Amino acid sequence: MPKLEEIVQQLEETGYRNTASRREVIAAVLSQRGHFAIDDICQQVRWAGRATVFRTMKLLQDTSVVCRVLLENGNLHYRLSSIGHHHHLVCVECGGVQDMEDCVVAEMLTRLANQTSYAIEGHWLEFYGRCGDCRVAKPELQAV
């Protein structure tokens, strides 16, 4: 979990400038718990403009500081990420997210490469369910 200074420095080494707005957005992101929408950052930020929030979020995606979480309703959220490529287990009740560090489909990629003529370049995978706590709280609903 990198700190503000580390992130800024890494950006500087890649040629990005160390600006006050950028720092404010990154600080707001680092203060988040769980997953959050871009709009959450926009509201938490004082002077940084909306466009800058979007621009900075894209930078943080590219540098793997945050990962994207596709909610079941289609909304796109973000989340601090200390690991590389991974997938999510999202609780549809409490919104809790669990990282799955082992990529389930990695082993599938070579199989796909053989069975089809496609060259696989990427994939999107999210799991939805109800976490243990929520199942205890409302046991009447059970997965099929």
Partner DNA sequence: GTGTTTATTGAGACGAAGTATCAGTTAGTT
Partner DNA sequence: AACTAACTGATACTTCGTCTCAATAAACAC
Q: Residue from 9, 50, 127, 138 that binds a copy of itself (CB under 8 A)?
A: 127
Q: Which is nearer to Mn ion, 21 or 71 (CB)?
A: 71
Output the CA torsion sign for 88, 60, 38, 23: positive
Q: Does 126 bind a copy of itself (CB under 8 A)?
A: yes
Q: What is the DSSP letter of 72?
A: T
Binding to Mn ion, residues 90-119 (CB under 5 A)? 99
In which residue are the tokens 């004082």 written?
Answer: 46
Q: Residue from 3, 5, 58, 106 that binds DNA (CB under 7 A)?
A: 58
Q: Residue from 70, 79, 95, 99 that binds a copy of itself (CB under 8 A)?
A: 70
d(CA 119, CA 131): 35
Start-to-end C-alpha separation, the chain: 37
Q: At 87, which amino acid appears?
A: H
Radius of gyration (C-alpha) of the chain in whole angstroms: 18
Q: Does 131 bind Mn ion (CB under 5 A)?
A: no
- Whole-number minimum distance, CB 36 to DNA, in Å? 10
Q: Does 39 bind DNA (CB under 7 A)?
A: yes
Q: Which is nearer to a copy of itself, 43 or 116 (CB)?
A: 116
Total residues contacting Mn ion by CB under 5 A comes to: 4
Output the CA torsion sign for 95, 96, 102, 104: negative
CB 29 within 8 A of CB 41: yes
- Binding residues (CB under 8 A) for a copy of itself: these are 70, 72, 74, 76, 89, 91-92, 98, 104-105, 108, 112, 116-133, 135, 142-144
